[in-house]
Amino acid sequence: MKKTTLFKTMLKDPKILSIPVAHDALCARIIEMAGFSCVGCAGYANSATLLAAPDVELLTLDNMVDCAWRIADAVDLPVWVDGDTGHGNVTNTIRTVQQFEKAGAVSIMLEDQVSPKRCGHMSGKEIIPTHEYVAKIKAAVDTRLDDDFTILARTDAVAVNGLEDAVERANAAIEAGADWVFIEAPPTLEVLKSVPSLVSVPTLANMVPGGKTPLVSESELEAFGFGAVAYPTAFTYVFAKIARELAIDMRRTGSISGWEDKMIEFDEFNKLVDLNKIRDREKKYYSDMGK
């Protein structure tokens, strides 16, 4: 089964689809080895790791496509990607979809924020007119080469105009061909619970510690009717916290003593990065050459 078809099938499954976001290929490999069925590649995490910068659309399309390609190349999982605003107008959106599909992604998220956008849980967001947003979604649908390459329509209208406008935008995107929708940053549990019943396609929730939406479990989100949940910051936040603690302690003590139990072991890390597969391949070809 194609990865695009597999992902689309998982979206329609009554069991909620968990989408942890990886900030690089190594993180994606760890997610895969933990047993997850897909992985995400998104702007917040990649902005942090590539630029040490916030999610304010500083990454270029080429930056993000390269991140997606590296993750897709490192794992056998379906890779969902963040297309931000489409990186411009309809013309730019078309190229954005083309490039991510070529990179091996199975699904792309496109949103209705004014460019440069910002993280959905930051204040001061602005959104484009509905007709411009719908045009981008329609262009994305028409551009994809694989009908199973799903288009996720995201709206940030809740924070700007309220839930009613967000739902209207989501439904307009569905009419334009969006396969699933994301109403970003519901501010209360009541609003969050209501989202799946207000649209006719699978819905995405995202869990951001410190964000505007209450944190709830996957079982609760599944009971609400959500089709998927993304974790756009979890791995990046853990990495940043542990790495900072290590750096401070190393600077203070001049040693890594006491950190060994928090580190992956040498042989285990080599297994994680497939060293044995590389060595086996080298042996095969050198053996064939009589060396």
The fold of 3-239 is: TIM Barrel (3.20.20)
How do the domains of the chain map onto residue ranges? Answer: 3-239, 258-291
pLDDT higher than 70, residue 291: no
Q: Which of 204, 130, 203 is nearest to 173 (CA)?
A: 130
Token pair of 107 as six digits: 């699904």
pLDDT confidence tier of residue 21, bands split at 50, 70 and 90: very high
Token pair of 47 as six digits: 């902005």
How many Å is the Cα radius of gyration of the chain? 20
Q: Tell me the C-alpha to C-alpha distance, in Å, between residue 102 and each of 56, 77, 95, 107.
A: 25, 16, 11, 12
Q: What is the DSSP string of 135-202?
A: HHHHHHHHH-SSTTSEEEEEE-HHHHT-HHHHHHHHHHHHHTT-SEEEE----SHHHHHHGGGGSSS-
The angle subtended at Cα 170 by Cα 9 and Cα 180, nearest 5°, is: 10
**From start to end of the chain, where are the E strands?**
17-20, 39-41, 79-82, 107-111, 150-155, 180-183, 204-206, 228-231
Residues 106-158 have pLDDT tens digits of 999 999 998 888 787 878 788 999 999 999 999 999 999 999 999 999 999 99
Token pair of 48 as six digits: 């942090």
pLDDT higher than 60, residue 226: yes
